[in-house]
Amino acid sequence: MTVDHIGKVLFPSSIFMRIIGRISFPLYSYLLVLGMESTRNVENYFSRLIVFAIISQAPFSLTFGYSPLEKLNIFFTLSLGILTLWKPILVLPSFLIAELLNFDYGAYGIVTIWGMKILKNSDITGIITLIFLNAVYIVLSQIQAFSLLALPLIILYNKGFFGGVKEIKDEQFYQPFRRYFFYIYYPLHLLFLYIAKSFV
């Protein structure tokens, strides 16, 4: 993610940095699914995402040159994803909301999150779903197809490599540092990028 954002803000001609960045959203989507399954309180999880979505919106808009509500940051997409995992009846309305309010990744982001839920339960079905999604989406963004590079890492993790899904149930998952690191890091790294951009 950071490499992607550095490329977009400071080195816009670097396609390589943008390609590397494509693997970040699938990874976050997969972690969201794991977090959803292991959280003790879905309402708190959703509320936490919304709070940081609001906190992150100003740095997000400043860094990428959007007007305040022109485009909504990734936390809004993740929040909506959690909501649909929690209340599946909201999946179809979420597509409309994500597109009308211009969430980062839009409806594609919501489908990716559900693709990760499928992938966690079935490698083959999940892979087919995500390949089909990116094949359709390639009409709008050719570079986004590189997000499929995240699949080997996710599948290996799903099968128990790198510690695997068993660790997610460990009590350490609920430690404050591990819980809040990404939440805090996201707006902070955007703020630093905005400052760096101002001096370039």
Contacts of 141 (CB under 8 A, 6+ apart): none
Q: Are 196 and 59 in contact (CB under 8 A)?
A: no
Sorted by where each begins, the domain ranges of the chain are 24-189
pLDDT digit of tens for each residue in the chain (200 aa)? 899 999 999 998 888 999 999 999 999 999 999 999 888 899 999 999 999 999 999 999 999 999 999 999 999 999 999 999 999 999 999 999 999 999 999 999 999 999 999 999 999 999 999 999 999 998 888 899 999 999 999 999 888 876 655 444 444 444 555 567 788 999 999 999 999 998 87
DSSP 162: G
Q: Hey, how many other C-beta atoms are within 10 angstroms of the C-beta on 168?
A: 15
CB 106 within 8 A of CB 99: yes
Model pTM score:
0.89
